[in-house]
Structure 1
Amino acid sequence: MAGPHRADKLRHVQDGPYCEQRGVGGMSQIGDDSENVKFIYWDNLTYAPPGSTDPEKWDAGLGAHLYETYLDHCVEAERLGYAGLSMPEHFGPSSLVTHPNIMLAALAARTKRARIISGVNLALLHNPLHLAEQFAMIDVLSGGRLEVGLGRRGDRAAFEHAADLIDGVLNGIDHPVPKADLTPALAPFAQELETARVTVWPRPVQQRVPLWVAAETDGSLATAARRGWNVFTGLNLDPAAGGMSKVSVEEMVTRLHRYFEIGQENGHELSMSNVAASCFTVVADTDMEAAELVRDGFASHVAAAGGHLARLAGASPAEGALETLAKEGDTGVQGVFEAPADSYLRNPFALVGSAETVKAKLDALVSAGFKRFVLLCGGVGNTHEIGWQSATAMARDVAPDLFSAAKSGLDEVAA
């Protein structure tokens, strides 16, 4: 008698009030509702003062306040109509989200409706199976609201393999992996195998957890299209070109249409709802005030990162770390410091300026077909307070109608 009774109770948990309360299976994914524009609130959680590089002056109380304030802001962002909440995986004193999945878990507990998006995790810095397990836990904690974002740092083939593995084990794909990927403790179970088939526990709530990858070039977009992955794109900040974008909006749209075609050739229906434009977002009283905030924030982030790298190498940040980086031709560091502030105004993917200027830029991108926007409000180096002011200005001053429509969609899902 114990077996059937336990099974009945389990079905009650899986199909009953608990899942209704947590929204299991009922949350609209970012890629759904192709006709509606959706916004994602993104914050770097920059430790203040911006670009602080002195570990002896670390203020734990200020750090804790920053975390708590960010969580409070995400609750408010959900109320304003942001469809998603996201943060990067950044290192060094310019950001307090070295392990963003910890904060994503906190977001799962504090929010109810918005999608929770890793934006992005650097897959090659982690064991991909461990990442998949963390993602599965967050999906369960959030009631099925997770969307996974992955970015490449390092070898392209290795990244694609890691992303395939994470996608496979989360989404129930019978995904073979090389035997060498398994830990030594598992080797006795696979002595006669060249490959192994893996899964993780817990299992995610969603039947398919959406996966996003950072993609901009023809090659990376083609890779994503063949696998049916969503893409983050558009953050075409080129320090060597004085802060301008690497490609125009028209060129990017052409690349994206090829992404759609390759997806269709491989059995995937992709559209602009599967594309999120990542945009530095600073709204201020005047255009130049906003542009200077972006330039100064970005420069302070590079300075902090340079000091962090110097310490990792055992050197003092005062020993010319930035000068050394600037001399390396492919780092773009020199370009960051030389880029004029108004270059960020000319960048079509940078939602930077007064409310009127930003509205015109946003309208141009929407007219070009973009439907999803990752608003880098607490953009690289900008203080958290400035980021939040921009996030609220986007909802209240720049695009209130679009946010109102998005909020109505969230309310319908909650109902």
Structure 2
Amino acid sequence: MSALSDESGITKFVYWDNLTYSPPGSYDPEEWDAGLGARIYENYLDHCVEAEHLGYAGVSMPEHFGPSSPCPHPNIMMAALAARTTTARIISGANLPLLHHPLQLAEQLAMIDVLSGGRLEVGLGRHGDRAAQEHAIDLVDGGLNRFDLPVPKDDLTPMSAAFLADAETAEVTVWPRPVQQRVPLWVAAGSDESLATAARRGLGVFTGLNITPSAGGMAPLRVDEMAARLRRYVEIGQEHGQALSMAHVMASCFTVVAETDREAAEIVRDGFIRHVESAAVYLARMAGSGRLDSPLESLAEQEETGIRAVLETPADSYLRNPFALVGSVETVKEKLAALRAAGLTRFMLLCGGVGTEQAIGWQTAKAMAEDVAPELFLAARNGPVRMAAA
């Protein structure tokens, strides 16, 4: 039950599922299949229980909207996981704090930590203005991990603010209090600026996943370049009094294990395109369009959307991306070994990656534990070796 960043000498894996409804579901909300939706949720919970037995140190899911991934409120799923699992860490991968009242989000997360017996780890993703995002993260962090957090009047409800009279801040304590003395927080970070900001705050980082395609394929990202930037993240944290190490870096990896490299790459590419397509349909309807066909082609004509690059990205680019654990068993073994040689020890495996059917994703999750790295999963199950007392 130790935190993901504890036991730095052990490699730890997190099972992540996109909860993909479409395909095989429909993009049309009038055709929503409640039975299929319920099975997707139930399958995910069952898979997380089995993942715990396989040696996954944590389980996670996104905050996604629309038909491709009907998980707009992951805290509900995390509460269910708190009741169904016993040892795995429960990680939001990730909450978007600017879409919620940060203090209410902190209250919900505190409840999950209590329900799980202190197994919560909070992932926070960026959405919108950077300054507002950092403020929201500080409110969530403070609400969970501090008593009597100083909160500006504008961040309180009108009823609470009425008690402040002319004061500008209030001392707010969020209830219930978490089980953990400090609930670990992780943030999505890729740029040097965002890595440095996380380091100064002592936050772990999700990084490495590159889903920004170009016409020639996924934009290149070398392991040695990324490793140097991550080591600098650790140094900045230590310079600011934070006890950071590479165990606070979670490599987020598209993960598909198949019979051949080509098969695995095509699974990722096809699933990614279906995910983008379903999201485009959803956004078109939200914008008031009555069209039920895919708006991808019209979006692809607008260069700034990047949709054309998504459609033209060759499957091989997912094989070339060192942070995508995509390929045959032997290929994925080699990629994982290269990442570990660079100092990475924490991996969020997007087994049910965006758009990938749930059954295929679960096959990959089992293949990682049983075929690709069984010795690492065994070590994670057994925990660190402890010396007998004299």
* Aligned equivalents of 1:157, 1:386: Cα separation in 2: 39
1:281 equivalent in alignment to 2:255:
yes
Q: Which residue is equivalent to 1:10?
A: none
* Aligned equivalents of 1:32, 1:365: Cα separation in 2: 19
Q: Which residue is equivalent to 2:117?
A: 143
Which of 239, 248, 269 is the aligned partner of 1:265?
A: 239
Q: Which residue is equivalent to 1:74?
A: 48
Q: Which residue is equivalent to 1:32?
A: 6
Counterparts of 1:33-52 in structure 2, within 5 Å, are: 33-50=7-24, 52=26
The question of whether the paired residues in 1 share the 8 Å contact of 2:221 and 2:322 is answered with no
Q: Deviations over 1:147-174 (max 9, x none)?
A: 0000011000000000001001100155
Q: CA deviation at 1:200?
A: 1.0
Which of 58, 61, 66 is the aligned partner of 2:32?
A: 58
The question of whether the paired residues in 2 share the 8 Å contact of 1:285 and 1:355 is answered with yes
Could you list the runs of 5+ residues in structure 1 that have no partner in the other structure?
1-26
1:340 equivalent in alignment to 2:319:
no
Which of 341, 348, 353 is the aligned partner of 2:327?
A: 353
What SS class does the counterpart of residue 190 from structure 1 fall into? Answer: coil
Q: Which residue is equivalent to 1:239?
A: 213
Structure 1 residues 255 and 63: CA distance shift in structure 2, 3 A: same
Which of 184, 187, 202 is the aligned partner of 2:161?
A: 187
* Aligned equivalents of 1:322, 1:151: Cα separation in 2: 25
Q: CA deviation at 1:241?
A: 5.2
* Aligned equivalents of 2:304, 2:208: Cα separation in 1: 20
Q: Which residue is equivalent to 2:377?
A: 403
1:374 equivalent in alignment to 2:355:
no
1:390 equivalent in alignment to 2:364:
yes
Which of 312, 335, 340 is the aligned partner of 2:286?
A: 312
Structure 1 residues 347 and 51: CA distance shift in structure 2, 3 A: farther
Q: Which residue is equivalent to 1:253?
A: 227
Matched residue type, 1:39 = F
The question of whether the paired residues in 1 share the 8 Å contact of 2:280 and 2:294 is answered with no
Q: Which moved more, 1:308-317 or 1:236-245?
A: 236-245
Q: CA deviation at 1:271?
A: 1.0
Matched residue type, 1:198 = V
CA RMSD of aligned residues (A): 1.6
Q: Which residue is equivalent to 1:197?
A: 171
Which of 204, 209, 225 is the aligned partner of 1:230?
A: 204
1:160 equivalent in alignment to 2:134:
yes
Structure 1 residues 260 and 108: CA distance shift in structure 2, 3 A: same
Structure 1 residues 141 and 274: CA distance shift in structure 2, 3 A: same
What SS class does the counterpart of residue 121 from structure 1 fall into? Answer: coil
The question of whether the paired residues in 2 share the 8 Å contact of 1:326 and 1:332 is answered with yes
The question of whether the paired residues in 1 share the 8 Å contact of 2:25 and 2:32 is answered with no
* Aligned equivalents of 2:189, 2:180: Cα separation in 1: 24
Q: Deviations over 1:20-44 (max 9, x none)?
A: xxxxxxx200000011100000000
- Paired residues in the alignment total 386
Q: Which residue is equivalent to 1:14?
A: none
Which of 196, 200, 206 is the aligned partner of 2:180?
A: 206
What is the aligned-residue identity percentage? 70
Q: Deviations over 1:242-286 (max 9, x none)?
A: 442453111111111111111111100211100000000000001
What SS class does the counterpart of residue 277 from structure 1 fall into? Answer: strand
The question of whether the paired residues in 2 share the 8 Å contact of 1:46 and 1:383 is answered with yes
Which of 117, 121, 131 is the aligned partner of 2:105?
A: 131
The question of whether the paired residues in 1 share the 8 Å contact of 2:209 and 2:253 is answered with yes
* Aligned equivalents of 1:341, 1:319: Cα separation in 2: 24
The question of whether the paired residues in 2 share the 8 Å contact of 1:148 and 1:209 is answered with yes
Q: CA deviation at 1:175?
A: 3.2
What SS class does the counterpart of residue 32 from structure 1 fall into? Answer: coil
* Aligned equivalents of 2:104, 2:352: Cα separation in 1: 28
Q: Which residue is equivalent to 1:115?
A: 89
Could you list the runs of 5+ residues in structure 2 that have no partner in the other structure?
none
* Aligned equivalents of 2:60, 2:380: Cα separation in 1: 17
* Aligned equivalents of 1:281, 1:374: Cα separation in 2: 9
* Aligned equivalents of 2:232, 2:370: Cα separation in 1: 35
TM-score of the two chains, using structure 2 as the length reference: 0.96
Q: Deviations over 1:127-153 (max 9, x none)?
A: 101110110000000000000000011
1:90 equivalent in alignment to 2:44:
no
The question of whether the paired residues in 1 share the 8 Å contact of 2:265 and 2:316 is answered with yes
The question of whether the paired residues in 2 share the 8 Å contact of 1:51 and 1:381 is answered with no
Q: CA deviation at 1:50?
A: 4.3
* Aligned equivalents of 1:103, 1:111: Cα separation in 2: 12
